[in-house]
Amino acid sequence: MTKSTKEKKEEKKHVKTPQQENIETKSEQESTSTNQTETTVDEKIEEVKKEKSDKEKLDELNDKYLRLAAEYDNYRKRTLKEKTELIKSAGEDILVNILPVVDDFERALGHIDQAKDINAVKEGINLIYTKFSEFLKQRGIKEISAKEKDFNTDEHEAITKIPAPAEELKGKVVDVVEKGYYLNEKVIRFSKVVVGE
């Protein structure tokens, strides 16, 4: 064989028929498609894992929220119960400390009919009044001084006006009908007063 025939044969080997080209193209496409499918499957697996992770996070946050809401509800119920109990028993301390004053009044009333010395009765009643006043001071109750002071709507309640007995008493409290009181600097009862005009 000559060189040219040999070359021709080799050329024929390298020259592909349209069918061979189709087969090779299909094979390349299939391999590319397989690679893409593998990539797509991997991506989908990653997405599913991410979705599961996100769902787990969401479930965890939802669980935390539900627990927090339950804890708050329990706290609210507990404080409401404590407040109710406190309101019921808050007066107990005051009442227990008033009882000795009531006992003193009962003793005084028991002896008032048999008393022959009126000064002793007066002194006993003054002692009871002093004891009760001290009890009120210990609890933060203080009397509002009003007589001959300027009329103040934050502390006084005017019942009536009368002509002032003296020029300097105009616009001032002439008489106190009912005393007013503070409880820790807050007015709990206004003084009922008569104002001079």
What digits encode the pLDDT tens for the residues 135-157?
899 888 999 888 888 888 888 89
Most trustworthy range by pLDDT among 65-74, 86-95, 170-179: 65-74
Considering its fold, how many domains does the chain have in total?
1
| 155 within a domain of the structure (yes/no) | yes
Residue 70 lies in a domain: no
Q: Strands of the chain (E only): list them.
A: 141-144, 156-162, 173-178, 180-183, 186-189, 191-196
Q: What is the end-to-end Cα distance of the chain in Å, rounded? A: 149
Look at residue 60 and tell me if it is in a domain. no
151 within a domain of the structure (yes/no): yes
Q: Is position 172 within any domain? A: yes
The Cα–Cα gap between 197 and 188 comes to 27
In a domain, 165, yes or no: yes
Q: What is the mean pLDDT of residues 52-70?
A: 90
Residue 72 pLDDT grade (very low, low, confident, very high; cuts 50, 70, 90): very high
Lowest mean pLDDT of 34-48, 56-70, 76-90, 98-112, name the range: 34-48
Specify if 122 maps to a domain: no
CATH of the domain at 182: 2.30.22.10
In this structure, the number of other CB atoms found within 10 A of the CB of residue 186 comes to: 8
Q: Which domain holds residue 158?
A: 141-197
Whether residue 186 lies inside any domain: the answer is yes
Q: What is the pLDDT of residue 173?
A: 87
Contacts of residues 183-186 at CB distance under 8 Å and 24 or more positions apart, as own/partner, are 183/139, 183/140, 183/141, 184/140
Angle at 135 between CA 123 and CA 186, to 5 degrees: 125
